């Protein structure tokens, strides 16, 4: 089982931020990624729909004999919390590792959380942060336009549209003088530079993809599941909509061409 791939899923492209970090901390591991591009975004769906989508995504990855599943999606991690108990392989979402990193990072005890509407409404990050330290102040803001921006390639800090949307959403966090912001959706690190530009260099941004990758590596090593291969691992990508758009935008996340490694599947079969 140790040479089986790691499974990662997200509603679209955002989970690729976790994949990129996984290839750094576990360079020899094979990775199977599923992006549910035909049903993105998850963040404005009902709890029941999100849970159903998440189970389908996980079952698809299990069909590929993965040894661990990572829900690289803030919405799923916040809403479909029972997924951990229903899977036959180790599982993690992004909430716990990201919250832990924020608790360690804050200096003034004021943490901002940004995410999809479903993530923010769940209060998942606030609960996890205050489980670690009940004295910390947490202020949350949903940013529903961030995912469409990233999915359509609007990511530059020099783009006036990008800056204006960030300024509108994050004004409350700036007014509340937070010193740490959780990027509670794995799409958001792609506009990290733009967020930092608007908020200022003194703000610490916690990358959910990076923190989840490091956390997952600890789980795999702790359970003795790391591959015995000494060669570089391979990544294969699956999507539920056209491969062309995914391949093009995936380069923004991974910095490499993946078009030869992308296949379309019918997620409704799972």
Catalytic residue numbers, as ranges: 73, 185
Residue with tokens 């591009």, as numbered in its chain:
37
Largest CA distance in the chain: 51
Buried b (16+ CB within 10 A) or exposed e, 10-47: bbbbbbbbbbbbbbebbeebbbbbbbbbebbbbbebee
Residue with tokens 């829900």, as numbered in its chain:
71
Cis, peptide link before residue 41, omega less than 30° from 0? yes
Contacts with 145 (C-beta within 8 Å, 6 or more apart), sequence order = 165, 169
The helix or strand, by DSSP H or E, that contains position 93, with its residue range, turns out to be none
Do residues 195 and 121 lie in contact, with contact meaning Cβ atoms separated by under 8 Å? no
Give the length of the chain. Answer: 270
Q: C-alpha angle with apex 129: 176 to 79, nearest 5 degrees?
A: 105
Task: Quickly list DSSP for 111-123.
Answer: EEEEE-HHHHHHT
- As a whole number of angstroms, the distance between CA 15 and CA 219 comes to 18
- As a whole number of angstroms, the distance between CA 65 and CA 70 comes to 14
Do residues 32 and 238 lie in contact, with contact meaning Cβ atoms separated by under 8 Å? yes
The helix or strand, by DSSP H or E, that contains position 182, with its residue range, turns out to be strand 180-183
């Amino acid at each position: 089982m140790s040479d089986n791939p790691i499974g990662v899923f997200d509603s679209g492209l955002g989970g690729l931020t976790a994949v990129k970090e996984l290839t750094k901390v576990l360079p020899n591991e094979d990775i199977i990624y599923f992006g549910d591009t035909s049903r993105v975004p998850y963040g404005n769906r009902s709890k029941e729909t999100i849970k159903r989508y998440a189970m389908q995504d996980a079952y698809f990855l299990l069909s590929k004999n993965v040894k661990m599943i990572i829900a690289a999606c803030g919405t799923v991690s916040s809403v479909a919390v029972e997924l951990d108990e229903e899977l036959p392989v180790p599982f993690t979402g992004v909430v716990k590792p990201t919250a832990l990193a924020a608790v360690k990072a804050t200096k003034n005890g004021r943490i901002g959380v940004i995410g999809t509407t479903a993530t923010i409404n769940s209060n998942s990050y606030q609960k996890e942060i205050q489980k670690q330290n009940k004295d910390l102040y947490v202020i949350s803001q949903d940013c529903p336009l961030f995912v469409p921006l990233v999915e359509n390639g609007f990511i530059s800090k020099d783009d006036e549209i990008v800056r204006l949307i960030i300024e509108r959403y994050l004004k409350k966090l700036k007014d509340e003088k937070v010193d740490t912001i959780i990027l509670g959706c794995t799409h958001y690190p792609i506009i990290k530079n733009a967020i930092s530009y608007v908020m200022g260099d003194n703000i610490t941004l916690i990358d959910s993809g990076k923190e989840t990758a490091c956390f997952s590596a600890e789980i795999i090593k702790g359970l003795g599941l790391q591959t015995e291969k000494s060669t570089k691992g391979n990544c294969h990508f699956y999507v539920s909509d056209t491969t062309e758009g995914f391949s093009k935008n995936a380069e923004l996340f991974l910095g490499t061409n993946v078009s030869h490694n992308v296949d379309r599947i019918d997620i409704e079969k799972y």
